[in-house]
């Protein structure tokens, strides 16, 4: 065998590996570009919360961040990392840890759209002494980190809570941060009470649609210990929270909406829809979703009007009106139509569904082609009756037979409330 053959013998496998690598990179590059194009065409270019900012000069396109992202929000385009699907990014932060060259930092807001975040000290206390914030309201929507913040906030509250009040702390919100804070307060022997406007614990996850996969990481709950979960369904997570509640016998009061926080001697008086509590400190562990946005029309107070879809099956055989133009509205209408065969109408005041995921638009097109639901654009609800709804459309007012109204119009952010009680809020533009 000649020297030429020896070189060929060893060089061909290397060339084959290189060819496969280049082919793979080109395929991923094409896919990332297509994903980004879809996001731009759908108007979904702004991340909702904490998200990665890429230092392009330091990024050498290793792809470690792409593999680490559980939401598939990142792609490699022309050798550099890009947030190709911003709308699905929920700030896991796994990408920052995975980057081998420290080219990622996590930020709030973008240059175009600021994100309002309350000013919170390292001990989770706001500029108003005695009022603390932990979890999603402070910009941290991750379950594991919210749990940790809830515990840490109570540790700091225990150091400043003053004697002589009815409660050491009133915890507002029973999501991950609120549950963890309640456990920590009980562990430390604090006199606490937790209130939540919903009829169950879970916070934002309580509003997730059925069977939604929730990404988290192992977390350490006071009194309970290590909980090892990474990927879990919404139902399983709710069962987990309920088991924690049952084991610890937590003092959580449901269906109590916080209405006011007023300074009194020695602390605050927290007024809810059902009671008033005098407390040395307050921990706000509520979500950024706030209170569901109402329509403000006659008849909206009827029991048949709901603000989230939890179980599509319960609407089988009914006439259902879904109101809204976002992903939650489309998904609710499609799920009810596909799973129950109900008569579904989707009403939206706009002339087109602009800021929704492409996959939901494709699902909607298929459903319309198969006549599984009806869409009424440029329409608005005027009044809701026990067996009908009245819609205003471009061609006049229309009466529809109706059993259920599902309002998916988003939520009122609690920013005005925070400013009212004196908590400083700043807009973050990519910082």
**Res 194 pLDDT > 90:** yes
List the single range of 1-5, 36-40, 42-46, 243-247 with lowest mean pLDDT. 1-5
pLDDT reported for residue 98: 87
In percent, the amount of the chain with pLDDT more than 70 equals 90
* CA separation for the pair 259, 267 (Å, rounded): 17
* Strand pairing class (305-306; 319-323): unpaired
pLDDT reported for residue 216: 63
* Residue range 111-149, pLDDT digits in tens: 777 777 888 888 999 999 999 999 887 776 677 888 899
Structure pTM? 0.75
- Measured in residues, the chain has a length of 431
**Res 1 pLDDT > 60:** no
Residue 391 CA: distances (Å) to CA of 180, 185, 333, 431 = 44, 49, 17, 43
**Res 200 pLDDT > 80:** no
* CA separation for the pair 293, 282 (Å, rounded): 25
Helices and strands (H and E) in the chain: how many: 9, 27
* CA separation for the pair 118, 286 (Å, rounded): 12
DSSP secondary structure letter of residue 256: -
* CA separation for the pair 241, 233 (Å, rounded): 12
**Res 214 pLDDT > 70:** no
Phi and psi torsions of 20, nearest 5° = -65, -40
pLDDT reported for residue 352: 85
* Cβ neighbours of residue 186 closer than 8 Å, sequence gap 6 or more: 192, 222, 223, 248, 250, 251
- pLDDT confidence bin for 6, thresholds 50/70/90: low
pLDDT reported for residue 169: 96
pLDDT reported for residue 192: 94
In percent, the amount of the chain with pLDDT more than 90 equals 32
Q: Is 73 helix (H, G, I), strand (E, B) or coil?
A: coil
pLDDT reported for residue 267: 93
* Residue range 367-424, pLDDT digits in tens: 999 889 999 999 999 999 999 999 999 889 999 999 999 998 877 778 888 888 898 8
pLDDT reported for residue 93: 76
Average of per-residue pLDDT across 165-187: 92
Which of 2-6, 67-71, 342-346 has maximum average pLDDT?
Answer: 342-346
pLDDT reported for residue 271: 95
**Res 302 pLDDT > 70:** yes
* CA separation for the pair 184, 205 (Å, rounded): 21
Q: DSSP letters of 315-355? A: GTT-EEEEE-SSHHHHHHHHHHHHHH--EEEEEESSSS--S
> Among residues 369, 378, 374, which one has the least CA distance to residue 400?
374
- pLDDT confidence bin for 10, thresholds 50/70/90: low
């Amino acid at each position: 065998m000649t020297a030429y053959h020896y070189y060929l013998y060893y060089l061909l496998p290397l060339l084959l590996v290189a060819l496969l690598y280049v082919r793979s990179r080109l395929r991923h590059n094409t896919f990332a570009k297509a994903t980004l194009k879809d996001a731009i065409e759908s108007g979904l270019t702004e991340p909702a919360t904490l998200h990665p900012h890429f230092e392009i000069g330091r990024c050498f396109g290793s792809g470690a961040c792409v593999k680490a992202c559980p939401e598939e929000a990142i792609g490699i385009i022309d050798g550099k990392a890009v947030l190709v699907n911003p709308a699905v990014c929920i700030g896991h932060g796994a990408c920052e840890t995975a980057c081998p060259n420290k080219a990622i930092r996590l930020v709030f807001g973008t240059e175009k759209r600021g994100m309002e975040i309350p000013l919170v000290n390292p001990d989770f206390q706001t500029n108003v002494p005695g009022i603390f914030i932990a979890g999603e309201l402070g910009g941290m929507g991750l379950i594991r980190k919210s749990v940790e913040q809830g515990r840490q906030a109570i540790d700091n509250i225990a150091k400043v809570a003053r004697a002589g009040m009815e409660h050491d702390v009133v915890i507002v919100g029973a999501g991950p941060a609120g549950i963890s804070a309640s456990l920590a307060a009980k562990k430390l022997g604090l006199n606490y009470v937790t209130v939540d406007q919903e009829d169950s614990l879970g916070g934002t996850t309580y509003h997730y649609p059925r069977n939604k996969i929730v990404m988290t990481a192992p977390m350490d709950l006071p009194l309970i210990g290590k909980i090892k979960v990474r990927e879990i369904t919404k139902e399983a997570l709710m069962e987990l929270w309920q088991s924690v509640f049952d084991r610890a016998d937590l003092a959580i009061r449901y269906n109590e909406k916080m209405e006011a926080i007023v300074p009194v001697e020695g602390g605050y008086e927290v007024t809810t829809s059902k009671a008033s509590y005098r407390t040395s400190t307050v921990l706000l562990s509520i979500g950024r979703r706030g209170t569901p946005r109402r329509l403000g029309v006659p008849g909206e107070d009827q029991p048949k009007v709901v603000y989230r879809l939890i179980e599509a099956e319960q609407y089988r055989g009914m006439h259902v009106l879904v109101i809204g133009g976002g992903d939650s509205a489309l998904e609710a209408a499609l799920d009810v139509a596909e799973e129950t065969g109900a008569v579904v109408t989707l009403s939206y005041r706009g002339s087109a569904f602009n800021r929704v995921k492409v996959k939901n638009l494709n699902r909607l097109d298929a459903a319309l082609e198969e006549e599984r639901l009806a869409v009424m654009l440029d329409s608005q609800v005027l009044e809701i009756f026990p067996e009908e709804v009245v819609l205003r459309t471009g061609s006049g007012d229309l009466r529809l037979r109706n059993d259920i109204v599902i309002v998916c119009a988003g939520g009122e952010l609690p920013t005005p409330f925070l400013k009212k009680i004196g908590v400083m809020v700043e807009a973050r533009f990519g910082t």
